[in-house]
Amino acid sequence: MLKYTFSAEGFEDTEKLQKYVETKVKDLEKYIPRVSRGAAELTVRLRRTKSKSEMYECRLELTFKQATLVASEQVEHAYSAVDVTMADVRRQLADYKSKHSKQ
């Protein structure tokens, strides 16, 4: 099981949002190499920024023994921010697996 922490800054995190992030984390787990799953840790930070318009910034840090993958995105909706950053981490994981897999 992938260990993860979720934090929200600038707004009150709802139970619905936490469950949404949890389902996304479970989906992401299958992309992590099996050897790294036990030691992998994921940090999800969701922050509301106040500029001209209300924006949500999501930052994901996936750490395991050999590497750390980081993705960050800023969009108008909290759920979209989570989706976009998860997709970016999935792409980075695919690149990592292709470089480090034994042929």
Instruction: Say which amino acid occupies 102.
Output: K
Q: How does pLDDT run along the chain (103 residues), one tens digit per residue? A: 688 899 998 887 788 999 999 999 998 888 888 877 888 899 999 999 877 788 999 999 999 888 899 999 999 999 999 999 999 999 999 898 888 776 5
In angstroms, rounded to a whole number, what is the distance separating the alpha carbons of residues 7 and 22? 12
- The pLDDT score that the predictor gives to residue 36 is 79
Q: Which residues fall within 8 angstroms of residue 17, CB to CB, at 6 or more apart?
A: 8, 46, 78, 79
**pTM of the full structure:** 0.85
- The pLDDT score that the predictor gives to residue 46 is 93
In angstroms, rounded to a whole number, what is the distance separating the alpha carbons of residues 33 and 64? 10
Closest CA to 69 of 46, 87, 49, 50: 87
In angstroms, rounded to a whole number, what is the distance separating the alpha carbons of residues 97 and 48? 33
- The pLDDT score that the predictor gives to residue 35 is 79
- The pLDDT score that the predictor gives to residue 37 is 80
